[in-house]
Structure 1
Amino acid sequence: MAEYYDPQTYPKAWNYLQTGTIIDQYMIERELAHGGFSSVYLARQMADQFQVALKEYLPRKLAHRTWNNVVVANSPEAQGMFRRGRALFFEEAKVLAALKHPNIVEVVNFFRANDTVYMVMTYDYGITLDKLIAKKMLAITEEFILAVFDSLLAGLSYIHERHFIHLDIKPGNILVRPGNNSLLLDFGAIQRISTTRINKLDTVLTPGYSPVEQYDVNARMGVWTDIYAIGASMRTCLEGKAPPLAPERSQKDTLIPAVKVFSRKYPDYLLKAIDWAMELKPENRPQSIEQLKLALVKP
């Protein structure tokens, strides 16, 4: 019989793997990031001391860690959802392990342990775009935007060519490395391009970056869905904040076109490309990465 625990009775520190914890062949060094469904740790491969990023599936609304690091559902009612999410996480790892491109995060291993699933990724040095913007760590120039997004579009094009869509592009998932070369992170929402909607109940929605069709379970998603998120991420570079929610825009669009707001600071071709990518109707946006890349060619 399954045993359930009240997570409120356990120390909050147990929510995270502690420094020195050994999972399979990896030793935890420190936490790098955490979200509602998972945490990412800097870890070291014990055989050769090679540093990696270790991602653990732990949806805190559904499950928690016990004293011996086993992950258990919070209740019998949460058990089914926890298991379904765990299976999807494992499938995500299998998909990513087969995708190899210098501008998308590389999965080098994945395994089951502690009644959950772990994904091992290469560890890259850099700062996520959202932190660069929020902390004003450097000037957001035309050259910076072109460098970051040109490299990002290279990775995204590779994904689309293999009939996948990312579905969670946002500044927090764009790692900016030395030379403004970007790396696309977090493929937890990835889906195959299909004529029908897949995983209707598991769609990830990120306010400001998810387009209208992502909110509609009956709408078809495609390359154009990722393109909206790219446009919204570029707009955030200009404005310093996320754009309004797409459903709000569809009711009453208060977002003034970038060509009107930023014409004194950025060139016309760049602003037009951002506005095009952020068109509300999917059919009015670029229909391929190649179309967007051509729009971003400096005259």
Structure 2
Amino acid sequence: MAHNIAPLAQGTQVDEYIIDNVMGGGGFSIVYNAHSVADKKHTVLIKEYMPKKLAVRVNDTDVTSLDPSAPESYNKGRKLFFQEASTLATLKHPNIVDVTNFFQTNGTAYMVMKDEKGVNLQDYIRKYKGNLSERLLRKVFPQLLSGVKLLHDKGLLHLDIKPSNIHLRQGGRPLLLDFGAVRETMKTRLYDARVVATAGFAPIEQVTERGYMGPWTDIYAIGATMRSCIEGVPPPSANKRKDDDPMKPAVNAFKRKYSQILLEAVDWSMEPDQRLRPQSCDELLEMLEKMPDENESKSILSKLKLDQLSNLLPWNK
């Protein structure tokens, strides 16, 4: 018999908030729309720690380890979730999700986030099968890099940058989500038992036991995300690229629709050898700020349908 992992019911009170409905979730958490008890107009998002394979819900609200004789994995995950919330609460940046509160109750942990309307980048890529305009990429990714730079300046790595962890708000303002993999910058993974890697977006050093990780690791993921915006699918995994790389350079594959300087930035970020990538967000930002020459810009725009440009930025209508 399947164990109970049902979300909290509408109207349930959690701390000082009332659950309105389920927004989404994944294998480790459930995200709700909610409002403040004191002010119904004050809406928030609440993320509840609920690992499907480790937890069970009892009494409609409480969460506990599925295996009461071995709660270690559940408790460790709850601790990491709470650490994620406490880390995010200290990171105040316009392009990083704003955690306004976090607490433990009902046997689990919760983080409260500012409710900002928009669309998920992965949904956007799926809708248009990639082919997102250069205009959009040049608007979104410098802002995203600014947020990631703050992380790096504080000695942290995100380690899970990908389209589904990027939220696009009105005006094309990106918001970096899901800091469950965030941790202090290390020179090696030798003493780290946790393996966090999304195929296509994690570079080789992230999937290798003795890989040397640093800002260049997140930069690879940003390059892979840009390429996914163009191509519509995740790039090949780092392991597939290791020996006989099947991935065609972006400067050759997409030269008819995008400027050379933008495609060079994508290829540079996705160099398999971490030593050949940008070593800091500033290096990649500097390259992305370089604009194509006037003739190249006109050529790119002439090959893109005008309705495509407007559709890719519906919030500007």
Aligned-pair CA distance for 1:251? 3.1
Distance 2:195 2:214 in 1: 13
Distance 2:131 2:210 in 1: 41
Query: Structure 1 residues 77, 243: closer, same or farther in 2, change over 3 A?
Result: farther
In structure 2, the CA distance between the partners of 1:154 and 1:240, relative to structure 1 (3 Å rule), is same
For the residue of structure 2 that corresponds to 1:155, the secondary structure is helix
The question of whether the paired residues in 2 share the 8 Å contact of 1:71 and 1:115 is answered with yes
2:181 aligned with 1:189:
yes
Contact 2:131–2:231 (8 Å) recurs in 1:
no
Give the Cα separation in 2 of the matches to 1:104 and 1:46.
Answer: 26
Equivalent of 2:273 in 266, 277, 281: 281
User: Of residues 21, 32, 41 in structure 1, which corresponds to 2:12?
Assistant: 21
Alignment map for 1:1-299 (pairs within 5 Å): 8=2, 10=4, 14-49=5-40, 50-76=42-68, 78-136=70-128, 140-197=132-189, 200-297=192-289, 298-299=291-292
1:3 match: none
Provide closer, same or farther for how the CA distance between residues 197 and 138 of structure 1 changes in structure 2, counting only shifts above 3 A.
closer
Cα gap change, 1:234 to 1:199, in 2 (>3 Å):
farther
Query: What SS does the corresponding residue of 1:179 show, helix, strand or coil?
Result: coil
Alignment partners' CA distance in 1, 2:6 and 2:241: 37
The residue number in structure 1 matching 2:298 is none
Q: Distance in 1 between matches of 2:181 and 2:74?
A: 16
**How far did residue 61 of structure 1 move?**
0.9
Q: Match of 1:285, as an amino acid?
A: R
For residues 129 and 9 of structure 1, do their structure 2 counterparts lie closer, same or farther at Cα, with a shift above 3 Å needed?
closer
CA RMSD of aligned residues (A): 1.7
8 Å contact from structure 1 (residues 42, 53) kept in 2: yes
Measure, in 2, the Cα distance between the counterparts of 1:78 and 1:227. Answer: 38
Q: Quote the Cα distance in structure 1 between the aligned partners of 2:191 and 2:145.
A: 25
Instruction: State the one-letter code of the partner of 2:24.
Output: A
Q: CA deviation at 1:184?
A: 0.4
Q: Matched residue of 1:100: which SS? A: coil
Distance 2:171 2:72 in 1: 45
Change in Cα spacing, 1:139 to 1:179, as seen in structure 2 (3 Å) is farther
Deviation at 1:139? 6.2
Structure 1 residue 29 displacement after superposition: 1.1
Structure 1 unpaired stretches of 5+:
1-5
Question: SS where residue 201 of structure 1 aligns?
Answer: coil
* Matched position secondary structure for 2:180: coil
The one-letter code matched in structure 1 to 2:184 is R
8 Å contact kept, 1:62–1:78: no
Compute the TM-score of the two structures, normalised by the length of structure 2: 0.88
The amino acid that maps onto 1:72 is T
The sequence identity of aligned pairs, in percent, is 45
Q: How many residues align?
A: 290
Secondary structure at 1:109 match in 2: strand
Contact 2:130 2:232 in 1 (8 A): no
| Cα distance change, pair 277–9 in 1 and its aligned pair in 2 (3 A) | closer
Supply the distance in 2 between the matched residues of 1:20 and 1:220 (Cα, whole angstroms): 48
User: In structure 1, what is the Cα distance between the partners aligned to 2:159 and 2:100?
Assistant: 22
Contact 1:129 1:175 in 2 (8 A): yes
- Partners of 1:101 and 1:110 lie apart in 2 by 18
**Structure 2 unpaired stretches of 5+:** 293-317
Q: Deviations over 1:248-288 (max 9, x none)?
A: 11132100000010011100000000000001111111000
CA displacement, residues 48-98 of structure 1 (integer Å, 9 cap, x when unaligned): 221111011111111121233111111146511110111111111111111
Q: Could you say if the C-alpha distance between residues 229 and 9 of structure 1 is closer, same or farther in structure 2, counting changes exceeding 3 Å?
A: closer
Structure 1 segments of 4 or more deviating over 6 A? none
- Distance in structure 2 (CA, Å) of the matches to 1:60 and 1:199: 27
Please give the alpha-carbon distance, in whole angstroms, between the structure 2 residues aligned to 1:78 and 1:296. 50
- Deviating more after overlay: 18-27 vs 137-146: 137-146
